[in-house]
A = this chain, B = another copy of it.
């Protein structure tokens, strides 16, 4: 473990812990699960906040410490929200972020070393969100942390947070679910399936065995998968503003992938240039097998699995919940968040559904910290009564008319 000596709010731990044998939801066992985490601030007994990262995120949530194994967009991915004086204030809270099993930033996954000293590859057991939560619980046990002040997660990290309320309802006082849902809708399931197919049809994927130094990575397939994902994170409005139909210049097409001569007659557009650049960057930092494993975990998550309803799944949770959704998000919509809020209401848990007006798409939870920070910070200190926390339901009443969150639709597709 590395630990820097500095002011409490700037303290960082960064370590990989062997939590021993681990049985996955699938029933498969591995002899040693390694769990990589970072922790920020000082633990005082009741101030632990677990932050759950998104699909391709990492434990390196804040711009503190080295984040040594992490690069690109996985690095300091929520540094506008987590840090000294930020909404999740590391002067007040002990913030723990755990890289999930199946990922590639230090926690065991397909790219990490198996018992035979070789990378697991696709012999790594299938991974579910429930496995992530249990791995996080084991790491916290190791750190001597029982009950948590809060669990906070965005995107599939929000599903991870919801799973905490199901698996360990007594361990969580406050739950924050940002830009997430009780389950993916079939449109997103379809897009994820196509993304996986792009990876597995890349000949360099080679059945998942591409880790040798002399073997090429399936970077074309992984790049395509990332481009599909990226398009899911943006909105029509944000793409109109960012790129329009503007050309990045004829002949500017990169040499990272093949093209035919006729392509040269047409502009290489800014939107293409952006997607190609993102694909290239992503393929450098992420493991293709991990992308298969983690998207399947996301697709598989269903809050109500094993219960009669979402509300029944949440029945044992007695804390408070904040749901944050974004009007321009078509990956996880405000309707899905409202449906989740309804489930909390039926389960009897105090809940606030804070709708953020934004045309940034799903990305909003990362790129609009000035809109996410205040309700999040106030909720952590004061719960649903927090000053900056709003709800779609008037005090004690029925849900207001749809006008409260209907703007999602018009902002999403108006030009």
* B-binding residues in A (CB < 8 A): 26, 122-127, 183-187, 189-191, 193-194, 197-198, 200-203, 205, 207-208, 220-221, 223-224, 227-228, 231, 234-236, 239-240, 242-245, 257-263, 265-266, 269, 271-272, 275-276, 289, 292-293, 296, 299-300, 302, 330, 333, 335-336, 339, 402, 406, 408-410, 412-415
| Docked CA distance A186–B409 (Å) | 18
Nearest CB in chain B: distance from A16 CB, A? 23
Q: Can you list the 4 inter-chain pairs with the closest CB atoms, starting with the nearest?
A: A409-B409, A122-B260, A126-B265, A126-B262
Q: From known contacts A266-B299, A275-B194, infer whether A412 and B415 are also in contact, taking CB-CB under 8 Å.
A: no
When distances are taken between beta carbons in the complex, the residues of chain B under 8 Å from A266 are 126, 296, 299-300
When distances are taken between beta carbons in the complex, the residues of chain B under 8 Å from A330 are 236, 413
| Seed contacts A126-B265, A190-B272, A194-B231; 17 additional CB < 8 Å A-B pairs | A123-B261, A124-B262, A186-B239, A186-B240, A187-B231, A191-B231, A193-B271, A193-B275, A198-B198, A200-B260, A201-B220, A201-B224, A262-B292, A262-B293, A330-B413, A333-B413, A336-B415
When distances are taken between beta carbons in the complex, the residues of chain B under 8 Å from A207 are 258, 260
- Which residue of B is nearest A181, CB measured? B415
Nearest CB in chain B: distance from A278 CB, A? 11
Nearest CB in chain B: distance from A310 CB, A? 13
When distances are taken between beta carbons in the complex, the residues of chain B under 8 Å from A240 are 185-186
The reply to whether A245 and B412 form a contact with Cβ atoms under 8 Å apart is no
The reply to whether A335 and B413 form a contact with Cβ atoms under 8 Å apart is yes
The reply to whether A296 and B262 form a contact with Cβ atoms under 8 Å apart is yes
| Docked CA distance A257–B221 (Å) | 13
Nearest CB in chain B: distance from A160 CB, A? 17
The reply to whether B413 and A262 form a contact with Cβ atoms under 8 Å apart is no
The reply to whether A335 and B414 form a contact with Cβ atoms under 8 Å apart is yes
| Docked CA distance A228–B261 (Å) | 23
The reply to whether A205 and B262 form a contact with Cβ atoms under 8 Å apart is no
Give 17 CB contacts A-B under 8 Å: A126-B265, A183-B245, A186-B236, A186-B242, A186-B244, A187-B234, A187-B235, A191-B231, A193-B271, A200-B258, A200-B260, A236-B330, A266-B296, A266-B299, A269-B299, A335-B413, A406-B409
When distances are taken between beta carbons in the complex, the residues of chain B under 8 Å from A221 are 201
| Docked CA distance A336–B245 (Å) | 15
Nearest CB in chain B: distance from A332 CB, A? 11
When distances are taken between beta carbons in the complex, the residues of chain B under 8 Å from A272 are 189-190, 193
When distances are taken between beta carbons in the complex, the residues of chain B under 8 Å from A208 are 260
When distances are taken between beta carbons in the complex, the residues of chain B under 8 Å from A414 are 335, 409
The reply to whether B415 and A409 form a contact with Cβ atoms under 8 Å apart is no
Q: From known contacts A197-B227, A201-B202, infer whether A236 and B185 are also in contact, taking CB-CB under 8 Å.
A: yes
Q: From known contacts A186-B243, A240-B186, A243-B186, infer whether A261 and B122 are also in contact, taking CB-CB under 8 Å.
A: yes
| Docked CA distance A402–B414 (Å) | 11
The reply to whether B185 and A257 form a contact with Cβ atoms under 8 Å apart is no
| Docked CA distance A221–B299 (Å) | 23
| Docked CA distance A203–B216 (Å) | 14
The reply to whether A193 and B413 form a contact with Cβ atoms under 8 Å apart is no
| Docked CA distance A70–B415 (Å) | 38
Q: From known contacts A220-B201, A257-B201, infer whether A189 and B245 are also in contact, taking CB-CB under 8 Å.
A: yes
When distances are taken between beta carbons in the complex, the residues of chain B under 8 Å from A122 are 260-262
| Docked CA distance A299–B265 (Å) | 12
Nearest CB in chain B: distance from A264 CB, A? 8
Nearest CB in chain B: distance from A143 CB, A? 29
When distances are taken between beta carbons in the complex, the residues of chain B under 8 Å from A187 are 231, 234-236, 239
